[in-house]
A and B are shown apart, each in its own frame.
Chain A
Amino acid sequence: MSDNTPQTDEPAGGETADPTNDDMLVETDVAAATSGSTAGATPDPVIRSRDLDVFYGEEQALDSIDIDIPENRVTAIIGPSGCGKSTFLRCINRMNDRIDACRVTGELSLRGKNVYDDDVDPVALRRRVGMVFQEPNPFPKSIYDNVAYGLEIQNIEGDHDEIVEQSLKRAALWDEVSHQLDSSGLELSGGQQQRLCIARAIAPDPEVLLMDEPASALDPVATSQVEDLIEELAEDYTVVIVTHNMQQAARISDKTAVFLTGGELVEFGDTDQIFENPEHQRVEDYITGKFG
């Protein structure tokens, strides 16, 4: 696996500002004590968590997560299964609220506002944060209605035809479906369905796009299409993507967070640094496949 790491040079590039990344690493490593002092030095992260714990009943799924997710970058979350990657993602748009047993403590802010404050309406929050799921899940409606769903329910003004077309174009699906917008979204292939779900998620123009293993149910060709798409989306959106596929994380992300068993965030930093030169032995073992 380690021979894939050279590929990471390309997507990460030299764009990310190095000093901030170092600061973040310090924060995640040394826990909450230092976070207050260093936070002032970084440009405002879009998503910021401090001391975030999540429990399902008695069982702890996330343990004191501190992370700062930067704007207009792809942040990948990797880790073995059951380490709480999906749980973390669901904290960001409060989809965890739908699980009765789930309890969240600590801070998770979107642009400086703690989304778990009492005055936050989770429905309003989810309108600013789009989500794409592991299994493609288009509605049993027409392709057009699928993409326009968010526009309808959020009462978004404007030319819906135009927005639907733009969203499908950005999801790299327009050419394939422009002549059959009235046919059911379920008639598309798996890869097309997932791109339809991405178009649906971006149509209302959210600030953040959450993706939970969006390519894991797809074949290799569809996977690489979706990956290309994600890289392009990062120009306008802050993308947080969960994946268990390390090559994928290395290829498309700018930042990588490594969660390990027990719901800990062990290391967070620039993707190429994580893959070439991780600080923690456990992370290196995980990335090189010594343990999973």
Chain B
Amino acid sequence: MATNNEIEGFGRVSRTIGTVFRYLLLAATLVGLVFVTILLVYVAKDAVQPLTADPAWHLTFFLTLVVPTLAAGAYAYRESVEALRTGVFSVGFVVVALMFSGGAAMIFVDIVEPLTWLAFLLALAVPTAVTAAVVSYDHRVPFAAQFLATVAAFYLSLFGIPGPLGSLAGVPTLVPSLFDFVAGLPLAPAPWLMMAGTLGPPVAYVGSQYVAGDRDRRAHVLTGAAVLALVLAGGALGPFAGVDPVPGVVVAAIGLAPPLVYTAGTAANRPTERTGLVVPATIVVGSLVGAAATDALGFAGPQSWVDWAFLTGSHSSTAAEAGFYPAIGGSILLMLTVAVLAFPVGIGAAVYLEEYAPDNRFTRIIDVNISNLAGVPSVVYGLLGLGLFVTYLNQPPGTVLLGGATLGLLILPIVIISAREAVRAVPEDMRAASYGMGATKWQTVKNVVLPRSFSGILTGTILALGRAIGETAPLIMIGAPNVKYSLPAGLSEAASAMPLQVYAWSSLYASDGFYEQAVPAGVVVLVAILLAMNSIAIVLRNKYQSTE
């Protein structure tokens, strides 16, 4: 330094290796994502065939839909990032809600009669009310009596006297259950009215709670009435739009009401995010205008293989007429069965292991083996299902119940592991606070641990369900039919599933047409449903993380 009169800098330290390392990591992060995206783009291109459309069709929609949507998004973004986020979220909400309402409508049209549904709800509601009444006399009635009364109420209401216990012994039914009684009523309101009566009030209640909170009675009543009117209109006006009354009610209650309520809630309660609503509005208006314009001008749209006929038809000998409906319905039924069977067991096991189990060698062995189970190949679970249910318990092969039980076993370890993660994430502070107040373990679990970990548990279990919906091997093992022509009418009937149907279409025996048309269309539907399910998990997780 003494030799140099100029002011020296600090010099530089080489970061070459670090930079190389950083980009290698980036590549590692993106590799899977990129390949799957490329595949899906290819598949979607085959399924939707955008190039078969008239270029003018593309131009029309570009002008009426894409440009205005981008402009609306930019406008909302300039207002605030939250506004844009709200806008995009509400668009996603509409799409997901409509998809779910489609699935629900499918169930009520083809599987569960509205009267059966009503009977089932009533048969559950009455004993639930009895339980609530009994429990509110907590301190006066001993626990054993409460428990007996509750069990008796449920048993009577669902099974009657003597019920399944009696029919095993060959005793005839003396008193019909509430369920049988309602389901057998000779006079019942129109099916769509029953659906509106069962779906409307809960949606209206939740909706008015969301929009009006408990600050304003008038707003409360108004929102509730508006939602009820919407649900009824779905049934009453549906036929004019070519939709039967029952699916009309279901779509109005599940597909339309929630996004509308969300929009109304945003407009009413969150003025800063209000501008974001221009995005969904632009998309709706833009699509309608675009559709009207292309219709009027006679521009042909793309010859997509994913169309209404594909979604509502069943398999056919020609690829162009093949449909996916029985497979979609079968998958939905399978998922419901899996959820009902695997969630309570998995969450129960997780809570036991986290909150109750002593830390000894036995529980550690269980611990390690649950992790091992999560890695067991799905074919092995198929074999388990086949051996246990079909061979040993003499169940007919390939039924919904069997498939649900097998897939349920398959995802059980994943459910347990993710639910444990969520339960473990409940801060120790919370438990200490509860025990310090003199809570028992049960009270702590019920009032503090479960509510706090609920969304985390739900996130993990929905993702696990996503794994089950795509499984093929176990279903093949248990003998589920590759191709079915109608929805199963109950849990003990054989059902196909989306991945199975896709597999059948791509198998050696199918012609090229199936491979080029039906397979991509089926994959697009399968992935879309999977993403819709996962989006719920993602939204829940974001909400959960932001409240922490």
Binding site for B on A (CB under 8 A): 93, 95, 98, 100, 123-128, 130-131, 133, 135, 137-141, 149-150, 152-155, 182, 186, 197, 200-201, 204
Contact = CB atoms under 8 A, between A and B. Distances in A.
Contacts of A125: 438
* Residue among A130, A140, A141, A152 facing the most chain B CB atoms (10 A cut-off): A140
Interface stretch (B13-21, B65-73, B187-195, B428-436): B428-436
A186 B547 CA distance: 9
Contacts of A128: 438
A73 B439 CA distance: 27
12 contacts: A124-B438, A127-B437, A130-B436, A137-B430, A138-B433, A140-B452, A149-B434, A153-B434, A153-B439, A153-B443, A154-B438, A200-B437
Nearest to A138: B433
Contacts of B216: none
Given A139-B448, A149-B447, A155-B138, A123 B438 contact: yes
Contacts of A141: 451
B435 A98 contact: yes
Contacts of B439: 123, 149, 153
Contacts of B434: 139, 149, 153
Contact of B433 (A93, A98, A139): A139
B547 A140 contact: yes
Contact of B435 (A124, A126, A135, A139): A126
A139 B435 CA distance: 12
Contacts of A100: 359
Nearest to A124: B438
A139 B427 CA distance: 10
Nearest to A154: B438
Contacts of A95: 432, 435-436
Interface in B11-56: none
A123 B439 CA distance: 6
Contact of A133 (B139, B432, B447, B448): B432
Given A139-B430, A153-B447, A133 B438 contact: no
A48 B186 CA distance: 74
Interface centre among B138, B432, B435, B436 (most CB of A within 10 A): B436
B6 interface: no
Interface string B349-362: 00000000001000
A139 B436 CA distance: 13
Nearest to B440: A123
Contact of B438 (A139, A140, A153): A153
B8 interface: no
Contacts, number: 72
A137 B437 contact: no
A100 B434 CA distance: 18
B429 A149 contact: no
A128 B437 CA distance: 9
- The listed residue with most B CB atoms (<10 A of its CB), out of A130, A137, A150, is A137
B436 A131 contact: yes
B433 A197 contact: yes
Contacts of A135: 429
Contact of B436 (A124, A126, A182): A126
Interface residues of B, number: 22
Given A149-B447, A155-B139, A137 B433 contact: yes
Contacts of B427: 137
A141 B451 CA distance: 9
Main secondary structure of the interface of B (DSSP, over half): helix
B437 A204 contact: yes
A130 B438 CA distance: 8
Interface string B101-139: 000000000000000000000000000000000000011
A82 to B, nearest CB: 19
Nearest to B432: A133
Nearest to A140: B452
Contacts of B547: 140, 186
Contacts of B437: 126-127, 130-131, 149-150, 153-154, 200-201, 204
Contacts of B430: 137, 139-140
Given A149-B447, A182-B214, A127 B436 contact: no
Contacts of A127: 437-438
A133 B435 contact: no
Question: Which 6 A-B residue pairs are closest in the complex by CB-CB distance?
Answer: A127-B438, A131-B436, A126-B438, A137-B429, A137-B433, A150-B437
A155 B430 CA distance: 20
A100 B357 CA distance: 12
A150 B427 CA distance: 19
Contacts of A93: 436
B228 to A, nearest CB: 26
Nearest to B138: A155
A139 B444 CA distance: 11
A167 to B, nearest CB: 13
Most chain A beta-carbon contacts within 10 A, residue among B139, B429, B430, B438: B438
Contacts of B447: 139, 149, 152-153
Nearest to B547: A140
A98 B444 CA distance: 13
B214 to A, nearest CB: 7
Nearest to B438: A127
Contacts of A133: 429, 432-433, 436
B441 to A, nearest CB: 9
A140 B447 CA distance: 10
A140 B451 CA distance: 9
Contacts of A154: 437-438
Contacts of B436: 93, 95, 126, 130-131, 133, 201
A155 B435 CA distance: 15
Contacts of B359: 100
A95 B429 CA distance: 12
A180 B440 CA distance: 29
Contacts of A138: 433
A204 B438 CA distance: 10
A142 to B, nearest CB: 11
Contacts of A124: 438
A154 to B, nearest CB: 6
A138 B547 CA distance: 14
A150 B432 contact: no
A95 B435 CA distance: 8
Interface in B354-412: 359
Contacts of A186: 547
Nearest to B439: A153
A126 B439 CA distance: 8
B390 to A, nearest CB: 45
A69 B432 CA distance: 24
B210 to A, nearest CB: 14
Task: Kindly name the residue among B138, B359, B448 whose own CB sees the greatest number of chain A CB atoms within 10 A.
Answer: B448
Interface in B322-360: 359
Given A137-B427, A137-B432, 17 more contacts: A95-B435, A98-B432, A100-B359, A125-B438, A127-B438, A130-B437, A133-B429, A133-B436, A137-B429, A138-B433, A140-B451, A141-B451, A149-B439, A150-B438, A155-B139, A186-B547, A197-B433
Contacts of A201: 436-437
Max count, chain A CB within 10 A of own CB: residue among B138, B427, B429, B430: B429
Contacts of B448: 139
Nearest to A182: B214
A141 B448 CA distance: 9
A192 B427 CA distance: 20
Interface in B432-483: 432-440, 443, 447-448, 451-452
A148 to B, nearest CB: 11
